Amino acid sequence: MTVELDAPPRATPSWTRRHLLGLEDLSAAEIETILRKADDFLEVSQRSRKKVAALTGRVVLNLFFEPSTRTRTSFSLAARRLSADTVDFTVTGSSTSKGESFIDTARNLEAMGVDVMVVRHSSPGAPHLLAQHLNCSVINAGDGAHEHPTQGLLDVYTIQRSKGRVAGLTVGLIGDIAHSRVARSNIHALTKLGARVIVCGPPTLVPPTIRRLGVEIAHRFDDILPQLDVVNLLRVQFERQRKGLFPSIHEYAALFGMDSQRLRRAKDDVLILAPGPINRGVEVTPEVADGPNSAILQQVTNGLAIRMAVLYLLCGQRSAERQANENAPVRETAETP
């Protein structure tokens, strides 16, 4: 296995994508391909020498237009563990906006030889736009309230590793469903892998149209709690919502926060997840976040393996495309009169 991961990645028949823009378009088989590859990289991350040579000479650029702690660090570290060069481009202030200047910025960065661009932006569809205008691979690291595919992948991966399966489990996504890209990516991954998904939050934070994605809706956490195998606690996304969507943080915590009293009414082996950043005392209390049912830090560890797997698979596909182009017969383009 070591030798395989030290060699440049090659395309696998089960992965033929150049970009990872969302989980909505992925098949269950493609999601499984990423999860199985992550197993290899989780093993690498457990070694004392946490590095393989697979992406030597490749360049991975983080282009973040929104704040990030876990995702950006995790992508940087994932790229370095694969021996790629990494560059962090953080846009602070508001002078760089959307439209042409956004594409122009990315094009200029790409011209420095970038192979993979990891993009976070407040506008839904921003990474898709870049994928249309750039030749490098694009990974969506969160686009507004739309999708956050690697978070969805690391959440299902954590569930699978902890419970041994995803199919047949009942998963509750609790909180601000309306403004959460994590909710959308979780819904796509979980439903594709055969889980039953219940979304639960105040009516102002749960759009009824979300049902179309194949989920059930609840507004009372206590009613659904005993059925749940997994509880994923989503942060209230104040930065994406207008004021007055619920009366107070205190009331939100009382109705939707996971505390030790609620934990006692849940299944004994209920798995507690949260994408972070967690607001202790709002969506989860410290006893629960740091308690035995919590896999919050495992999610972070698993996220690194998932991001290594995604970088590896995308670069393998690009190598295959390049090789196919080099081997393609030269076409006559000029017509002789």
Residues of this chain that bind ligand NCD (CB under 6 A): 70-71, 142, 148, 151, 181-182, 235, 275-276
Q: In the structure encoding, which two tokens stand for residue 135, read together?
A: 């030749």
Please answer whether residues 239 and 279 qualify as being in contact, where contact means their C-beta atoms are separated by less than 8 angstroms. Answer: no
3-state SS assignment for residue 204: helix
If the CB atoms of residues 117 and 182 are measured against ligand NCD, the closer one turns out to be 182
If the CB atoms of residues 34 and 154 are measured against ligand NCD, the closer one turns out to be 154
Q: How far is the CB of 161 from ligand NCD (least distance, A)?
A: 18
Q: How far is the CB of 55 from ligand NCD (least distance, A)?
A: 23
If the CB atoms of residues 202 and 276 are measured against ligand NCD, the closer one turns out to be 276
Q: How far is the CB of 204 from ligand NCD (least distance, A)?
A: 18
Q: How far is the CB of 132 from ligand NCD (least distance, A)?
A: 23
Helix 296-327 and helix 70-81, axial crossing angle in degrees, nearest 10: 50
Helix 181-192 and helix 149-163, axial crossing angle in degrees, nearest 10: 50
Give me the count of residues in the chain: 337
Q: How far is the CB of 239 from ligand NCD (least distance, A)?
A: 8
Q: Tokens 């670069």 identify what position? A: 315
Q: Taking CB positions, which residue lies at the least distance from ligand NCD?
A: 235
* ∠ Cα 227 153 45 (to 5°): 115
3-state SS assignment for residue 142: strand
CA–CA dist 182, 278 (Å, integer):
13
Q: How far is the CB of 142 from ligand NCD (least distance, A)?
A: 5
If the CB atoms of residues 4 and 239 are measured against ligand NCD, the closer one turns out to be 239
Q: How far is the CB of 69 from ligand NCD (least distance, A)?
A: 8
CA–CA dist 180, 307 (Å, integer):
20
Tell me how far the alpha carbon of residue 335 is from its chain's centroid.
48
If the CB atoms of residues 50 and 70 are measured against ligand NCD, the closer one turns out to be 70
Structure letter (DSSP) for residue 178: T
If the CB atoms of residues 9 and 175 are measured against ligand NCD, the closer one turns out to be 175
Helices (H), 49-92: 70-81
* Paired residues of 171 in beta bridges: 197, 230
If the CB atoms of residues 31 and 145 are measured against ligand NCD, the closer one turns out to be 145
Please answer whether residues 23 and 31 qualify as being in contact, where contact means their C-beta atoms are separated by less than 8 angstroms. Answer: yes
